[in-house]
Structure 1
């Protein structure tokens, strides 16, 4: 169910994060090594990045597999950024939302991705959807579980919650409403990365003098990659990573 990655650090060409490593996200679209659910991530992809001096990220999203889009290869060669979030998608179920369903989702300074699936979608989250305003529901990018999870996170961010609080509270709320869901969430504001490991794999790599990468799986065999324990909140800057355990929601 999808693979995603985020990077913050010294400006690099996007290809150095997404394409050039031996087992990069590009290759993970057809040959992931650690994906537990699904086999091929060919139902869309997206790349979001930040330009110097502009807090609002740019995005490039498409419906088909990333390996069939030569434009993204050229873009990744030419564009440099100090903050990137990208994902390749394996849809939970078929739909007609097209590239609108592909992460990263975005609003203001934030980029967001969800790797996983909500158990019992859509009925399981109907009570949580009812807690959002009509305007928030009508603004959903797509009719997918990931888009609604993003709306719940965004609601908390707009109410003033920090990134870690917004992710952890949303995960616990959704897990309580839909037990057995896989909720690996990834969020960045261009300076920090916040993520949850909840039901699927998550790894990080901090390289002194370069930056920090957080990803569904390592993009190479560097022994410095660290796996994040399940039910954990991760908060990372270009130099540090903090891990905080998350408790199961009440029965």
Structure 2
């Protein structure tokens, strides 16, 4: 299992989102309150963010317009517990972004623990994270070519899920439809799977709750997280299980029920 978050809003530091909030993602790495499997998330971490796309007159001062184009994101990932990285606090305090996806990892048994296995995964302008586990993921019916399987960035269920989703995105499928289709298929052939996913392109976020906790907070910004922090900012709302959430920077949130398509499931 893992804990993760996605942020859209005015440019802010990575530290304010990940490190400093009371019971934020940093603290959830060793003391999660709502995690249904595992007790610590010590198998790595990662932060992805969208840098400013141009250095205009207001860039140094943090103009909210900078970086809003949804270009290719940057990442910082490690295969160590987040609390052991002595460089992270200084780095996170210096970097600001309007869109962030971050995760702390508890590895699924049978998956790799290399740095490449830490979320967020990235393709083009998209970032992806998976909180959960897929039983017998290596034998998941997925109709993938040998070349696609060889392109997996890591040996893990999360990397495989991202490959399936990004394949649909390349075909022109809308992000929410791509995520919903993969979740329904995997849930149908692996009923015990836990499939809490986050996908962002820097402008909007697609999130699913399927087997673990998920919450969101709107206001001057949008924050979607595995569990609420304790900061006195805005009101947190719990996402029902088996639900897809689509949200944008304007704070517009739409939800869709997710039910597996058992009739179409492969044996």
1:140-151 correspondence to structure 2 within 5 Å: 140-151=152-163
How many Å separate the matches in 1 of 2:155 and 2:242? 26
Q: Give the root-mean-square deviation of aligned CA atoms.
A: 1.3
Q: What is the CA deviation profile of residues 40-59 of structure 1, one whole-angstrom value per residue up to 9, with x for unaligned ones? A: 00000000000122600000
Structure 2 contact 107–113 (Cα < 8 Å) conserved = no
How many Å separate the matches in 1 of 2:111 and 2:80? 13
- Secondary structure (helix, strand or coil) at the match of 2:149 reads helix
How many Å separate the matches in 2 of 1:31 and 1:77? 23
- 1:244 to 1:59, Cα distance in 2 relative to 1, 3 A: same
- 1:232 to 1:193, Cα distance in 2 relative to 1, 3 A: same
> Which residue number in structure 2 is paired with residue 215 of structure 1?
225
Specify the structure having the higher radius of gyration (Cα).
2
Q: What is the CA deviation profile of residues 190-238 of structure 1, one whole-angstrom value per residue up to 9, with x for unaligned ones? A: 010101110110000001xx21001100112547100000010100112
Which is worse superposed, 2-11 or 172-181? 172-181
Which is worse superposed, 87-96 or 164-173? 87-96
> Which residue number in structure 2 is paired with residue 192 of structure 1?
204
Q: How many residues align?
A: 245
- Secondary structure (helix, strand or coil) at the match of 2:168 reads helix
Does structure 1 residue 77 correspond to structure 2 residue 87?
no
Does structure 1 residue 119 correspond to structure 2 residue 135?
yes
Structure 2 residue corresponding to 1:66, chosen from 79, 82, 89: 82
How many Å separate the matches in 1 of 2:32 and 2:191? 26
- Secondary structure (helix, strand or coil) at the match of 1:93 reads coil
**Runs of 5+ consecutive residues of structure 2 not aligned to the other structure:** 54-66
1:127-146 correspondence to structure 2 within 5 Å: 127-128=141-142, 131-146=143-158
- 1:105 to 1:75, Cα distance in 2 relative to 1, 3 A: same
How many Å separate the matches in 1 of 2:231 and 2:254? 22
**Runs of 5+ consecutive residues of structure 1 not aligned to the other structure:** none
> Which residue number in structure 2 is paired with residue 106 of structure 1?
122
> Which residue number in structure 1 is paired with residue 170 of structure 2?
158
Q: TM-score, normalised on structure 2?
A: 0.88
Q: Runs ≥4 in structure 1, deviation > 6 angstroms?
A: none
How many Å separate the matches in 2 of 1:30 and 1:13? 22
